[in-house]
Structure 1
Amino acid sequence: MTTAIITDINTRIHTLMMDLGQAKDIVGTSPDISPATNEAARELLRVEKLAVRDRQLNDKSWQTTKQTILTQLHHEILARFKQELEDTDTLYSKVLGINESMPDALDILNVRASSIGRIEPVIATMPWLVKDLIKMVNMPKYRRFDKRGKGIAVDNLRMALSFIGIENLKMVVPSMAMRRWLPQITDPYPSIKSRLWANSIGTAICCRKLAQLKGQDEGMLFTLGMLHNIGYIAVIRLYFRLFDQVLQEALKEAQDGQLKSEYDALRELQPDADFLRDLMMQYGAALSVKIIERMDMRRVYINHAMSEFAKDMPMTKMTPMAKILTQSVAYTRFRLLRDSKLITTDEAKQYLQHFHMPKGSLAILKSTNLGKLDLSMTTNTSDEN
């Protein structure tokens, strides 16, 4: 499969994260507007022909004005964006808001001697995670019952962790962390958050399934799959923050200078999906490497695999973990595109062939729910009081 076609598929998935309509435009599946066929419609077109032409000319001039100003804004945003990328600590703590205890928690969960007693004090330093874990085990589908059939209400961290169990925590903790880091406000593209999540959890689940098939560490590969998008999240958060910042400065400048036309144009500007998509494709993976390195995990050995993936190394030269990540990313992208009818059967076949999926893996992944964690939690009657 040619590099051009792979790039095309990757462009589709990144555009899909922004907006389904724009992704459909790329593959030419936007619904056609049927031409007017009845007499009334033809008469309307004839009568309004000149008026429509004038409006179009005016609209085109106004759109050109707005595009020129947007280009100027993006020039300034890009300069600041590149500058911000140099400060990994600020991206880590301010833009993403990663708690310094999270790497320790992930480390503890991925050692053989991991236990509830060891992980509890670390998780206790993250109140939001404590709250989410307790809320989770009190959900109807996970609730346990005593011998009398009465539901056991969980109100403390130790009990919640015991109910979930270490093996499940290896999936639950990185998943809850990723959900917390997702961008919250992405107007006018509200689907970014849900599609980023679908991409992250799908890749993580694929990584775990392929790890089982290839005899690799399931917990570590699940974490790698979940974290591989963290650089993309930083790009998105940073872009929306900088867009608002630069736009507000430009509005004030136009207002102070009594530049009414420029001011009116600025008020109509919105974040640009194409510009953000290009930022994600250019900087996302490399930034994931920097952030994962900044996490400085001692027991979760995923830095090198993430680096190989970001460099787009030939699969024949990749380490086993990097190969599984690459295959998992590809398969998840295929599923997301297929679900949105943005990839043909022939394209999908060629695309997946390029990644040399392990024997038997496609059948396994086909029957796998990529949007739901496969937790093995006992929900039957418990002896605990």
Structure 2
Amino acid sequence: MSIPQQALFEQFVASLDHARTVSPFFKAKHPEFGHGSIVKKKHFFLDVDKQAHNLREKHNANHAHVVQARSAKFHQVLKQIVSQQVTENPSQLIHIANIDTFAGQCMDMLAKPACSNSLFEPLAMEIPWFYDQIIKIVNNKPFHKTDKNNNPITVDTLKTAINFIGFENLQMLLPALIFKRTLPQITDPYPEIKHRVWELAVGTANCAKFLAPDYKLNPAFMFMAAMFHYVGKNTVTRIFFKQFDILHKEQMQSAEKALMKDEFESLRDVTPDPSTLAELVAQHASHVSDAIIKEMTFSYLPIHTLFHQLAHNDYEQSAPQLINSCERYVQTRMLLKQHLISADTAKTQLLQLQFSGRQLSALNKMAIKQLKFVDLS
């Protein structure tokens, strides 16, 4: 049975191995995957050893079945907890996302034609980590400069750092730095989540920026908006793993206290379920992004209406349509790279996007995984 591409992608973000088990294309190419890809060696047992071996196999199979049933019940409770947290107190989501109070005001200021060092610096200094990050960045490629003797110029003041980097580059760099701090850090046993979301966000932002002029949209604004579209995904993921740990600990302690040995042993082997996480992200992420943007006190950038449209799948206007199309484009490229969809499926998906042949051709030639800065030298 086929799985919608969006659902396949969300499971891929959490776990490549799990995505392979639900990808019809991958399973057709690798029928052995998930069914013991290593051929078992032939063993010769004495009768008594054979009986013990069979008992162990039966016990393991029974235990796996019990764990699966326990996990299903556990994740039903977890879904309710996560859904309740993301819907009942939206004003707290910005703190869970790890976004600083002055982030919105700083991005607003950078977007204004009248932006200057004297106006931007005081706001930027209200972000605790900004100075250290920007000094580190400006003293490394691609921004570090050399004197006439080719010796590196060390920058240690914010004013000089801003001059070296330039406001045009800061319009991309600041949103990227703010977004990177929202990425979930503790996602065991799926450490790749933050890397895949970062790749998706940067790719979508780069594509939206590149195509923005075709739609008479501001490239810097579309870059920022496309990247922050995934803040909700990061926040739901943070909540999922934190609440998993809390609930797991509570249920383990309860089972131990009640001397429920079988329940304790089955709970011990319950791990975060990628399908449940994917379902929660699909259900809540865009609404969480919208709620967080509302708390970021933007007053200049026209972002509130855009995120409301994205949260309600309203793609009538150019900006939400472009972000949605760029997201689907990047997802298709990422799935194709991992052989989770066929080349024919990818081609069909791409032809369904609101892109011209010229636009698709240009995107296909782009390296979309890295931030691209303007050379001001």
**Pairwise same-fold verdict (TM > 0.5):** yes
Aligned pairs (5 A) from 1:158-177: 158-177=159-178
Aligned pairs (5 A) from 1:40-79: 41=41, 44=44, 53-79=54-80
Does the residue aligned with 1:112 lie in a helix, a strand or coil?
A: coil
Q: What RMSD, in angstroms, separates the aligned Cα atoms of the two structures?
A: 2.3
Asked if the contact 2:166–2:376 (Cα under 8 Å) also holds between the matched residues in 1, the reply is no
Letter in 1 for 2:4: D
Asked if the contact 1:138–1:153 (Cα under 8 Å) also holds between the matched residues in 2, the reply is yes
Aligned to 1:130: 131
Shift, 1:234, TM fit:
0.8
Aligned to 2:254: 253
Alpha-carbon deviations, 1:220-256, whole Å to 9, x = none? 1111111001111111000001000111111211121
Shift, 1:44, TM fit:
4.6
Alpha-carbon deviations, 1:153-180, whole Å to 9, x = none? 0112111111110110010000011111
Contiguous gaps of at least 5 residues in structure 2: none
Q: Closer, same or farther in 2 for the Cα pair 1:9/1:45, shift >3 Å?
A: farther
Letter in 2 for 1:22: H
Letter in 2 for 1:60: A
Shift, 1:49, TM fit:
7.2
Aligned pairs (5 A) from 1:199-210: 199-210=200-211
Does the residue aligned with 1:186 lie in a helix, a strand or coil?
A: coil
Aligned length: 368
Aligned to 1:233: 234
Aligned to 1:91: 93
Asked if the contact 1:17–1:192 (Cα under 8 Å) also holds between the matched residues in 2, the reply is yes
Alpha-carbon deviations, 1:45-69, whole Å to 9, x = none? 9988766654343223212322233
Shift, 1:330, TM fit:
1.0
Letter in 2 for 1:246: L
Letter in 2 for 1:352: L
Distance in 1, matches of 2:249 and 2:374, equals 50
Asked if the contact 1:107–1:299 (Cα under 8 Å) also holds between the matched residues in 2, the reply is yes
Aligned to 1:341: 339
Distance in 2, matches of 1:180 and 1:308, equals 25
Asked if the contact 1:213–1:361 (Cα under 8 Å) also holds between the matched residues in 2, the reply is no
Q: Closer, same or farther in 2 for the Cα pair 1:25/1:123, shift >3 Å?
A: same
Normalised TM-score (structure 1): 0.89
Aligned pairs (5 A) from 1:277-292: 277-292=278-293
Q: Closer, same or farther in 2 for the Cα pair 1:155/1:307, shift >3 Å?
A: same
Asked if the contact 2:252–2:267 (Cα under 8 Å) also holds between the matched residues in 1, the reply is yes
Letter in 1 for 2:89: D
Alpha-carbon deviations, 1:104-161, whole Å to 9, x = none? 0111111222223221111111121221111011114421012232211011211111
Aligned to 1:382: none
Distance in 1, matches of 2:139 and 2:45, equals 62
Does the residue aligned with 1:181 lie in a helix, a strand or coil?
A: coil
Does the residue aligned with 1:312 lie in a helix, a strand or coil?
A: coil
Letter in 1 for 2:168: E
Alpha-carbon deviations, 1:60-87, whole Å to 9, x = none? 3212322233233223322322221121
Asked if the contact 1:36–1:42 (Cα under 8 Å) also holds between the matched residues in 2, the reply is no
Aligned pairs (5 A) from 1:205-220: 205-220=206-221
Q: Closer, same or farther in 2 for the Cα pair 1:185/1:261, shift >3 Å?
A: same
Q: Closer, same or farther in 2 for the Cα pair 1:52/1:211, shift >3 Å?
A: farther
Normalised TM-score (structure 2): 0.91
Does the residue aligned with 1:127 lie in a helix, a strand or coil?
A: coil
Alpha-carbon deviations, 1:171-214, whole Å to 9, x = none? 00000111111001100001001001001111110110110332
Asked if the contact 1:247–1:266 (Cα under 8 Å) also holds between the matched residues in 2, the reply is yes
Instruction: Please say which of residues 76-85 and 322-331 is displaced more in the overlay.
Output: 76-85
Note if 1:351 corresponds to 2:349: yes
Aligned to 1:10: 6
Distance in 2, matches of 1:101 and 1:207, equals 25
